[in-house]
A = this chain, B = another copy of it.
Amino acid sequence: MKTVGELGEDGLIARICAGLAKGGEVVVGPGDDCAVVGSGDVLTLLKTDAVVAGIHFLQNEDARRVGWKAVARVLSDFAAMGGKPGELMVTLALESTTPVRWVGELYEGMANCLKKHGGVIVGGETTSLPEGAPAMISVAGRGTVRASQVVTRSGGRPGDAIYVTGTLGGSIRGKHLDFTPRLKEANWLSQHFKIKAMMDLSDGLAKDLPRLARMSGCGFTIDRETLPLSKGVSVEEALGDGEDYELLFTSGDEMEGTWAATFPDLPLTKIGELTREKDDHLEGGWDHFKR
């Protein structure tokens, strides 16, 4: 009997999505950073995302940083669609032996992130876990996006330049907990330029760029020499470490000059181009089920 580990994350998701019924006010369905639903000038973004002890954070990690990360991951997905955060719900699955103080600090971290970047917690759920099970924090909710500003993974076209914000790799040294969701930057980009396709880099460029290219029906070439490396990081690590939470996007517009004037502290790097050929791939990146 085949396991999800043998099938891999992308295979599992493809299989799930193929079986889903259509309907509702769905503008963008499964497979993108968020679902987009509704109608009119302002659409609703829906997102759910979970962090698990032992996978996304260490059991003994500062709960404030865990809370920040749990919320910032969702905000990063709202950003990747060109949108803004709205109302969120938090599901806590905890052992009964969890200290109350830990929960308090977790919410402190979430509140800090929301205060800085927008969004509000309007509810959620608590559930107990069997003894020894790892804590899980799931954040779900809605954001908003102007219909004219929606950016998906699938709008890329051959000849588009491929860009990334910030630097890649080495997130395990701390950035995976303390990163800044690129809301300001993504909103600015989608307001001022024709951004064809966009996503946030959560599983590493080697995993995420092929996903974006595939959804856009394109291949890609990248110049490994141009990759913006985090300090002390190799090209392989920049490709494969994951959890960069930077924006990956494609566009036919020139924007480096205006970008540098607007966001002087955050690099923007052209790393390659979408192509007509579809057989490219990159080694590395994070698969949730294959190890």
Contacts and interface: CB of A to CB of B under 8 A. Distances in A.
Given A46-B89, A141-B46, A288 B4 contact: no
A34 B138 CA distance: 16
Interface string A103-136: 1100110010011000111111111111011101
A91 B265 CA distance: 35
A289 B100 contact: no
Contacts of A114: 21
Contact of A87 (B26, B111, B120, B128): B26
B100 A13 contact: no
A267 interface: no
Question: Could you say which interface size class chain A belongs to?
Answer: 35 or more
A185 interface: no
Main secondary structure of the interface of A (DSSP, over half): mixed
Contacts of A264: none
Copies in the complex: 2
B3 A96 contact: yes
A5 B9 CA distance: 35
Among A5, A12, A16, A32, chain B packs the most CB atoms within 10 A around the CB of A16
Contacts of A87: 24-26, 35, 37, 46
Given A99-B1, A291-B96, A120 B48 contact: no
A30 B103 contact: no
A233 interface: no
Contacts of A127: 50, 52, 55-56, 288
Contacts of A132: 132
A96 B23 CA distance: 31
Most buried by B among A9, A48, A90: A48
A56 B127 CA distance: 10
A48 B9 CA distance: 23
Nearest to A27: B122
Contacts of A94: 4, 289
Interface of A: 1-7, 9, 12-13, 15-16, 19-26, 29-32, 34-35, 37, 44, 46-50, 52, 54-56, 86-87, 89-91, 93-94, 96-101, 103-104, 107-108, 111, 114-115, 119-130, 132-134, 136, 138, 140-142, 288-291
Which 6 pairs, one residue from A and one from B, show the smallest C-beta to C-beta distance? A5-B96, A140-B140, A35-B122, A35-B123, A48-B89, A24-B120
16 contacts: A2-B99, A4-B103, A19-B104, A19-B111, A24-B87, A25-B86, A29-B122, A30-B121, A44-B44, A47-B89, A48-B90, A48-B138, A49-B125, A96-B289, A96-B291, A127-B288
